[in-house]
Amino acid sequence: MGKDTIADIITSIRNADMDGKGTVRVVSTIIIESIIKILFREGFIENVRKHRESNQNFLVLTLRHRKNRKGPYRTNLNLKRISRPGLRIYSNYQKIPRILGGMGIVILSTSRGIMTDREARLEKIGGEILCYIW
């Protein structure tokens, strides 16, 4: 893993989804747990469980797969990292982008914690745009 843990987690989930794997094991930090909690609540992840191995905590994620008409199980899970350590992207609550007209979600880091775009608009606070998920 590199220094950008959020990008590493997003890449791990995206690669496992493209490869058709059912589970992903990621390192557990407070920020990662908050992001995974949002993914679970929004229905992108089926199950989350904690795992401890040699003094390090991991999260084991079970990805949600949907049946495709033409073949095996596939998902339409797309994740994109926006703000990164070299270029931080901030937005106020009025200019938070809508992904696919509100079908996708934007995950933000605000002064009140990690939250989705809908929650930030309701509380009328902006923050750093971490990633898009659709």
Separation between Cα atoms, residue 116 and residue 105, nearest integer Å: 6
pLDDT at position 30, please?
95
**Percent of the chain whose predicted confidence (pLDDT) is above 90:** 82
Q: Does the structure show a pLDDT above 90 at 87?
A: yes
The total number of structural domains that make up the chain:
1
CATH number at residue 88: 3.30.1370.30
Domain around 97: 5-133
